[in-house]
Amino acid sequence: MSFDLVVCGRAFVDGQIKYSEIGISGGKISEVKSSIRGGEKRIDVPGGVILPGSVDPHVHFRDPGMTEKEDFLSGTAAAVHGGVTCVLDMPNTVPPVTDVGTVLEKKDRIRGRSYVDYGLFAAVTPGCNAGLMAPLVPGFKLFMGSTTGKILLNDDVEIRVALRDIFATGKRVSVHAEDDSMILKEPERDCRDHLRNRPVEAEINAMRRLSRFRGMSMNICHNTNAESVEMANDLGFTTEVTLHHLFFEPDRFSSSEYKVNPPIRNAAVRDKLYKAFIDGKISMFGSDHAPHTVSDKSQDFDSAPSGIPGVETTIPIVMNMVRKNAIPLSQAVSMGSETPAASFGMKKGKIGEGYDADLAVFDMRKFTDIDIRKLHSKAGHTPYGGWEAVFPETVIVGGEVQINGGEFCGDRTGKDVYGGNRS
């Protein structure tokens, strides 16, 4: 067999690290063996480990309509430098993605402007034509709690009707599960006030209301508390967690840099969430990459928008956790690659025959402190400045080398996974 590229080294294959030679043809993994002959080009990985590229199931690239904050070029540049080879972008842009027309317009705008593969979510709105949109999107996003954009849907009857049609298509629904009727609008001076206005009970009550959809294809985004995680698991839903909800709490991290929806919780709630994560009870990482400009975030707290950038830093921080034995590599791969890919119907997230040739090489000896000046998002800020991280040495997307030796060398070859598939 002829290969476009063969990647050789210690690789995470079938749940274990072993020397492998990975043959790539036409953007797909064609063979994984201990020895492969031939190949137009070979990459030998003398150190580190070859992993499946990560899938971030939750980013906000602000394209179109708010591109001063982020666009697909800058957002996917950040993603690929963080070892993320596929992103799923949320629909609360300007205009919001609510019908076939806005889906196709956004696809046209983004085509040829991405360094990684991608999918575009559609919003759950009353009367949305799920059948027509389903082939074009990875899933649908339900906003039960108010946040950036105006596509809130918090009426049980309207939710039930819309989700019935969506579930009939086989697509998954990702949910911002905060009961908007329990969110207060009182003035805020810091993250403690923001937490007061958006109490954990709003999340828990949203989960109670979603219990009627037991066993359906539903993903609960940015979980902030262990009780919601347990409820979601009991209902057969998948779950996401962000690093900011795992690490921050409002008494120590009170400025608008940490203002986000849902809010960072108090230390006791956060610690229980962290234990659920360590115990393997959460399905996947989602960065909820939500960039705003430095000037946006520098406003008084009440006026500053909610959102924390994270697509470039999430997986490198996770890999540093692996380096420090806080979590096993298998959990990092499961939560960062395998589960998000499988949950949204992609042939990604594993090093195996027939899967997309998306790979990332991490060398645990090469950890560094995060330097805000070297990040690629337009946001220009991060709460993780100075944190230890392991950034990828090599990143391959669809068989194309995008990062080599830690340096960018690629091009805008990312494909729309849902309408423009590689297969």
Active site residues: 288
Q: Can you read off the two tokens belonging to residue 97? A: 């993605």
What gap in Å lies between CA 269 and CA 279, rounded to an integer? Answer: 16
197: exposed, middle or buried (Cβ count in 10 Å: 0-12, 13-18, 19+): middle
156: exposed, middle or buried (Cβ count in 10 Å: 0-12, 13-18, 19+): exposed
What gap in Å lies between CA 92 and CA 84, rounded to an integer? Answer: 22
Q: Name the pairing type of β-strands 5-13 and 42-44.
A: parallel
What gap in Å lies between CA 177 and CA 154, rounded to an integer? Answer: 10
Of the candidates 208, 220, 149, 219, the one whose C-alpha atom is nearest the C-alpha of residue 182 is: 208
Residues found in the chain: 423
Residues paired with residue 218 on neighbouring β-strands, in sequence order: 173
| String of DSSP letters for 345-368 | T-S-SS-STTSB--EEEE-TT--E
**How many C-beta atoms lie closer than 10 Å to residue 411's C-beta?**
12
Q: In sequence order, which residues have a C-beta less than 8 Å from that of residue 385 and are 6 or more positions away?
A: 370, 371, 372
Helix/strand/coil for 316: helix
Distance set, CA 37 to CA 21, 254, 352 (Å)? 9, 57, 18
- Is the distance from CB of 174 to CB of 121 less than 8 angstroms? yes
Burial 220-240 (b: 16+ CB within 10 A, else e): bbbbbbbbbbbbbbebebbbb
Q: Can you read off the two tokens belonging to residue 277? A: 């994560």
Distance set, CA 310 to CA 64, 200, 234, 286 (Å)? 20, 23, 29, 9
